[in-house]
Structure formats: structure tokens, C-alpha cells
């Protein structure tokens, strides 16, 4: 099948309607409805979009107006998004996990005039701050809410009916809006995670999006027969690209997981072929497999370890360009039958490949899944580059790198090591923030504008990009050693018992770390050893748990040079929390907040008494 002509279908809405008109009867989406998986065709998808868009027109939404979506990832989210963009308005997504104050900031900063919310919980957030949001005229709720007679609040089903009535008297207006769209039109804000302050609104247009998605097909051989699963927040550019925009060019099917928590069960139920995840997702799967093996019998452990050795030997030979021996091939088939297939089944049994992005992932985890035949390709990008700067893929992979530079993208490394790029997917700047835009997009001596990523890295002799860390996060020890804390934190999180880790030690003689526990895994450890405890905080001070973490960190320290090892650590009584501003919505640690909150504990790790 030929690809759509992007010179004709040159906006996100036009590309969507290409699929509706040419593949109307094909299934495009699966979602759970009343406990049963329900399919949606392109034609049905189109009707949803048209009805919502016409209702927005009836409500007076004009070209360039901002409309917010406050919801978890679900089919209604993408239908509303396309409806907003189709009429020339601008989507302003808000993370469903945001607090009321954070919701207020984004709704106010974006100047949203209308907001779609998922359920009662999200509606309550809006109701509590509505008097501080005079621009928002109406709220539409995806699910049932109470009380049902709130002024200027309606259900999505009723809102869609309003759109049908409007279309009866204004049949041409919707497609006139779609056809008038230009690739340079602003279609969406993507708010940054805000690790150092208020989130900034990257301004995304159709040209940015189409540049990214048109290269995914040749790089990953994705076809209309592929099935992906969407479960991470669509307010983040990575899921927006791979769980929403990608299919508009390729036509693949999307499964919407019921929630992030239900995703593992939904994986097994639906068997997707393509999966995107953040490092934390793959760390969780790795931890689950690791702790499961600790409960295995001696013979099961022996078979597992043998299989892993065979898998490692087999892929190392193949990766070096050689052909494994017949004996090794037979052993590999046996290892797959005995162990690897069972791990594949955890992911639904049909995965062709997986992609990791949004933060660095430990090479140890990538190697592990590579040995068992589940390849994870690490990609690198940011909100401001519409998600992509470089990518590992089927033809070009080097574990530990973030791949080769993306097509149509130029990268240079500044004198201080900062990664700078220029490409068609670069945003034009931040909305209502000229100062931050000036720091992001900087002209060089030849008048060429480069986007400054804030990341430090290098390109090796084979053209693979390696990321060291965030420029502002680099630790310089008292001994003058430059240390990238993120790499060490990622290594620490390969322990199944560690949820989060923050490395500390700028201008100090050695490195220390704050550790939070994975509640499920540490509770299982306590049960297995019959440790009595009241709650997670009580567990953190148990000698058995402290000894366990000493053992885990000592083991991981062996993989690091001496100046990067963790000499002392403190287990915190609770995990880092987004509600306390310790984490961003994408689960990145806000270092300044955490350092300030736990300053006494951190300094105590350097006292003579400890």
C-alpha cells in the first residue's frame, strides 16, 4: 500500500481524514467497554471527531483558541484532540496526575477557553479553581458526574449530539476548516515536565509532527497490520507521537489500555506487536522477573541461568556478524522453549520490538531483554524537538547509545559538550516566554539557529549519539571528577527493591544517595522473611531491609569506577511524590526540591558520625 502524499495531506487533520476516506471500514482502535474489548473503525473514529468539532464550532470556538484536555490516555482523548485541531483551534493538554494548582497554572497560562475532563475526580479539580479561570466557559466530561445539573458542564455524549444538530444547518463549515489548515499552523502546546520550575509550553505545528512520523515506517518497518498499545500520558510528546500521531501516516491499530496499572494485564489479553515505554516501565518488568526467579526452585533457577547464558552467547555471536554453530542454535531453541517464551508471554507473545524514551535507561536492562529476544530500541529527543533527535532502530543499534541522528536532523556538540540540533521538528519556541525561547534557540556566528538541548553528550566514530547527563545536573566532586548522576541512578533502579534514587555529591569527597523503596517488592521480601512491620516507613528502618540495600548497592557499585560508587545512602520513609513537587508528571526527580527537602539528611551522610 502506498503512503499518503504529505504534500497534499500536509496537516495532522488532513492526514487523519485521508485514513477515514480510504480505510473507513478497517479497525483502527480497540478499547475496553463494560469489560469487553470493543473495536472502532476509521469511519466511526471520523464521526466522533466530526461531532465533537461541530459542537465546538457551535460553542463559539474560533481558529487559534486554546482548548484543554485533562484525562488519562483513552480513545476520547485522541478524538477530542483531532476535533480541536481540525477546526484550527489549539490543544493544551494537562497531565491527569497534576494537582489543582498545577492544573490552574496550565489552564491559565494557555488561556484555554474550554476544557474536556475525564471523570468526577478531574471535574472536582476544575470546580475548585473555576472562579480563578474566567476564560473557561464550559467543561465537558467523558464519564457520568454528579450533580448532573451543573451550569456550563455537560457530558461528552450530549455534547456530540449538539454537534450533529449544528452540522445539519452548517454542513460545509467543518471541512472548510480542515481544508484551510496549513502545515505551519499551531496545533498544540506540549508542556515540558518542569524539573526546574513552572512547565513551559512548546508550540507544535503539523510540520513538526509529520517530519517525525514519516520516518518511523522505514526505520521500524511498521505496517497497517501492526498493533501498538497506548497507556502513558498523551500530555507527553512521546505517547502523542507513538500512540496517536504515528498511525495517521502508517495506519496501524492502537489498543488503549484501561490504565497504567492495568497495562500488564491488557498486554497479555491483546498481544500487541509494538510497544513504547519509559525506562521505569521496563525496570518494573525486569524487577518482576528478577524477584520471580528468587522464589523459583533450584532446578528452575539452574535452567533460567543456563538459558540466559545461551541467549547472551547467541546474540553476541550474531551481533558480531558471525553465524552461531548448529549446537548453539539447538541450545538457543531449547532456551527459548523453556524460558524466553514465558517472558515473551508476559508482553502478550507477539512483540516485534519495543522503544524506550523520555529518560535514559540502564544498558543492563537493554542487554537483558536483547539476550531473551525482546529488543528495546532507545531513542532520544525532547518536547522541543517534537520527541526525536536520534534513534536506535532495526538496522542500526548500539546499546548504550541513543542511536544515530534522525533523518533531516543535524546535530553538533558545543565546546562545553552540549548537544545542539537544527531540524524541521524543532518547535518555534515557548508560548508567552520569550526569555526561555531565547535560551533555547540561539544563532551561531553564521546566523544559523540551533536548538540547545541542555544535555551533554558525544557522537562516536560510527555516528552513534551518547548522552552523558543534563548539563545542569553534572556533579563535580571535591576531587575534580565530573560525574553524571543519571547513569548511576539508572543503575541503582535496576535493583527490584529500589523505586527512585537521587545521587548527591557536588563539591563533596564522595557520592551519596537517597533511596526510596518499591513497595510491592519490599513487602514481598518482608513476607518471605516473616518480618513484622506496620507500614512502609517502619520497613525502612528494619535491619534486614537496610542490610538488603547495602548488599544491592555494593553489588551495583562493582559496575562503577571508584569515584562514581555510592559510599553512603539513606532509605526514605516514603516514595517521592508528584503532589509534593518531588516528581514531574513523567516521574523525573525535581533535584532542587528533593535536595532542599532532605538537606539535613544529605548533609548528615557526610558527618564524621556516619
CA distance 126 to 137: 12
**Position 429 pLDDT exceeds 90:** yes
3-state SS class at 85? helix
Residue 473 DSSP code: G
Q: Which fold has domain 474-604?
A: GMP Synthetase; Chain A, domain 3 (3.30.300)
CA distance 388 to 246: 13
Whether 373 and 335 have beta carbons less than 8 Å apart is answered as no
Q: Where are the domains of the chain?
A: 12-22+43-181+215-220+230-249, 279-470, 474-604
For residue 125, which of 134, 117, 135 has the smallest C-alpha distance? 117
Segment 305-310 mean pLDDT: 97
Segment (H or E) for 498: strand 498-504
For residue 475, which of 423, 442, 511, 439 has the smallest C-alpha distance? 511
CA distance 198 to 210: 28
Neighbouring-strand partners of residue 274:
228, 353
For the domain 12-22+43-181+215-220+230-249, what is the CATH code?
3.40.50.12780
With bands split at pLDDT 50, 70 and 90, how would you rate the model's confidence at 198?
confident
- For 223, phi then psi, to 5°, come to -130, 180
pLDDT at 551: 96
CA distance 275 to 225: 14
Fold equal for 279-470 and 474-604 = no
Residue 583 DSSP code: B
pLDDT at 3: 82
**Position 254 pLDDT exceeds 60:** yes
Q: Which comes out higher in pLDDT, residue 3 or 463?
A: 463
**Position 291 pLDDT exceeds 90:** no
Residue 336 DSSP code: I
For residue 384, which of 441, 456, 438 has the smallest C-alpha distance? 441
Polymer length of the chain: 610
Q: In Å, how far are 171, 182, 331 from 309, measured between CA atoms?
A: 65, 55, 10
CA distance 456 to 418: 4
**Position 140 pLDDT exceeds 60:** yes
Diameter of the chain measured on Cα atoms: 80
3-state SS class at 436? helix
Q: What rounded mean pLDDT belongs to the chain?
A: 94
**Position 234 pLDDT exceeds 60:** yes
3-state SS class at 192? coil
Q: Which segment of 37-46, 104-113, 479-488 scores lowest on mean pLDDT?
A: 479-488
3-state SS class at 596? helix
Vertex 273: Cα angle to 267 and 275 (nearest 5): 65
Contacts of residue 43, defined as CB under 8 A and 6 or more positions apart, other chains included, come to 20, 24, 25
pLDDT at 196: 59
Return the number of other C-beta atoms located less than 10 Å from residue 27's C-beta: 15
Return the number of other C-beta atoms located less than 10 Å from residue 394's C-beta: 13
Neighbouring-strand partners of residue 597:
none
**Strand pairing class (227-230; 274-277):** parallel
pTM above 0.85, yes or no: yes
**Position 360 pLDDT exceeds 90:** no
DSSP string, 268-334: HHH--SEEEE-HHHHHHHHHHHHHHHHTS-HHHHHHHHHHHHHHHHHHHHHHTT----HHHHHHHHH
Return the number of other C-beta atoms located less than 10 Å from residue 21's C-beta: 11
Neighbouring-strand partners of residue 144:
none
CA distance 565 to 559: 9
Segment 320-324 mean pLDDT: 93
For the domain 279-470, what is the CATH code?
3.40.50.12780
pLDDT at 194: 65
Residues 165-193 have pLDDT tens digits of 999 988 889 999 999 999 999 999 999 87
Residue 142 DSSP code: S
Q: Buried b vs exposed e over 29-64: b needs ≥16 C-beta within 10 Å?
A: bbbbeeeeeeebbbebbbbbbbbbbbbbbbbebeee
**Position 500 pLDDT exceeds 70:** yes
Residues 525-540 have pLDDT tens digits of 999 999 998 988 999 9
**Strand pairing class (376-380; 353-356):** parallel
Cis peptide leading into residue 147 (ω within 30°): yes
With bands split at pLDDT 50, 70 and 90, how would you rate the model's confidence at 138?
very high
pLDDT at 434: 95
Q: Is 509 exposed, middle or buried (0-12, 13-18, 19+ CB in 10 A)?
A: exposed
CA distance 550 to 555: 8
**Position 609 pLDDT exceeds 80:** no
pLDDT at 197: 67
**Position 610 pLDDT exceeds 60:** no
**Position 482 pLDDT exceeds 90:** no
Amino acid at each position: 500500500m502506498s503512503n499518503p502524499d504529505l504534500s497534499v495531506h500536509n496537516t495532522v487533520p488532513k492526514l487523519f481524514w485521508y485514513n477515514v476516506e480510504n480505510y473507513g471500514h478497517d479497525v483502527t482502535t480497540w478499547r475496553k467497554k463494560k469489560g469487553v474489548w470493543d473495536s472502532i473503525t476509521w469511519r466511526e473514529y471520523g464521526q466522533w471527531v466530526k461531532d465533537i468539532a461541530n459542537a465546538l464550532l457551535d460553542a463559539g470556538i474560533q481558529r487559534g483558541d486554546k482548548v484543554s484536555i485533562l484525562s488519562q490516555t483513552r480513545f476520547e482523548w485522541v478524538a477530542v484532540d483531532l476535533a480541536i485541531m481540525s477546526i484550527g483551534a489549539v490543544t493544551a493538554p494537562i497531565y491527569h496526575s497534576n494537582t489543582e494548582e498545577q492544573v490552574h497554572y496550565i489552564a491559565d497560562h494557555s488561556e484555554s477557553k474550554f476544557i474536556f475532563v475525564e471523570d468526577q475526580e478531574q471535574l472536582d479539580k476544575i470546580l475548585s479553581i473555576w472562579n480563578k479561570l474566567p476564560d473557561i466557559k464550559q467543561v465537558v466530561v467523558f464519564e457520568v458526574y454528579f450533580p448532573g445539573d451543573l451550569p456550563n458542564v455537560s457530558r461528552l455524549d450530549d455534547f456530540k449530539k449538539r454537534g450533529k444538530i449544528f452540522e445539519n444547518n452548517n454542513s460545509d463549515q467543518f471541512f472548510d476548516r480542515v481544508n484551510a489548515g496549513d502545515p505551519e499552523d499551531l496545533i498544540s502546546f506540549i508542556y515540558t515536565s518542569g524539573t526546574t520550575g513552572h512547565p513551559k509550553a512548546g508550540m507544535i505545528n503539523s510540520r513538526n509532527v509529520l517530519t517525525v512520523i514519516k520516518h518511523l515506517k522505514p526505520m521500524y518497518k511498521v505496517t497497517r497490520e501492526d498493533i501498538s498499545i497506548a497507556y502513558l500520558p498523551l500530555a507527553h510528546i512521546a505517547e502523542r507521537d507513538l500512540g496517536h500521531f504515528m498511525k495517521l501516516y502508517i495506519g496501524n491499530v492502537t489498543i488503549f489500555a484501561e490504565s497504567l496499572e492495568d497495562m500488564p494485564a491488557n498486554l497479555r489479553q491483546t498481544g500487541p506487536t509494538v510497544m513504547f515505554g519509559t525506562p521505569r516501565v521496563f525496570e518494573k518488568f525486569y524487577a518482576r522477573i528478577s524477584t520471580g526467579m528468587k522464589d523459583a526452585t533450584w532446578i528452575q533457577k539452574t535452567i533460567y541461568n543456563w538459558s540466559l547464558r545461551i541467549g547472551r552467547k547467541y546474540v553476541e555471536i550474531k551481533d558480531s556478524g558471525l553465524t552461531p554453530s548448529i549446537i548453539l542454535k539447538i541450545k538457543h531453541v531449547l532456551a527459548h522453549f523453556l524460558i524466553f517464551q514465558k517472558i515473551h508471554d508476559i508482553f502478550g507473545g507477539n512483540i516485534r520490538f519495543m522503544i524506550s524514551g523520555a529518560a535514559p535507561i540502564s544498558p543492563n536492562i537493554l542487554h537483558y531483554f536483547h539476550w531473551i529476544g525482546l529488543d528495546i530500541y532507545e531513542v532520544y529527543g525532547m518536547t522541543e524537538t517534537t520527541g526525536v533527535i536520534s534513534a536506535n532502530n532495526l538496522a542500526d543499534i548500539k546499546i548504550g547509545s541513543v542511536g544515530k541522528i534522525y533523518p533531516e536532523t543535524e546535530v553538533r556538540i558545543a565546546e562545553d559538550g552540549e548537544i545542539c540540533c537544527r531540524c524541521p521538528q524543532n518547535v518555534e519556541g515557548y508560548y508567552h516566554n520569550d526569555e526561555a525561547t531565547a535560551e533555547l534557540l540561539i544563532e551561531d556566528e553564521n546566523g544559523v539557529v540551533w536548538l540547545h538541548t541542555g544535555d551533554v553528550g558525544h557522537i562516536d566514530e560510527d555516528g552513534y549519539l551518547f548522552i552523558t547527563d543534563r548539563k545542569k545536573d553534572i556533579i563535580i566532586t571535591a576531587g575534580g571528577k565530573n560525574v553524571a548522576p543519571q547513569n548511576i541512578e539508572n543503575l541503582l533502579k535496576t535493583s527490584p527493591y529500589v523505586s527512585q534514587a537521587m545521587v548527591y555529591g557536588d563539591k563533596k569527597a564522595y557520592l551519596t544517595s537517597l533511596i526510596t523503596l518499591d513497595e510491592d517488592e519490599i513487602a514481598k521480601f518482608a513476607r518471605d522473611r516473616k518480618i513484622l512491620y506496620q507500614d512502609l516507613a517502619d520497613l525502612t528502618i528494619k535491619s534486614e531491609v537496610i542490610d538488603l540495600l547495602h548488599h544491592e548497592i555494593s553489588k551495583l557499585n562493582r559496575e562503577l569506577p571508584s569515584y562514581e560508587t555510592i559510599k553512603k545512602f539513606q532509605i526514605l520513609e516514603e516514595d517521592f511524590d508528584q503532589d509534593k513537587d518531588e516528581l514531574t508528571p513523567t516521574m523525573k526527580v525535581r533535584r532542587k526540591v528533593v535536595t532542599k527537602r532532605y538537606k539535613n539528611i544529605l548533609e548528615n551522610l557526610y558527618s564524621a558520625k556516619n
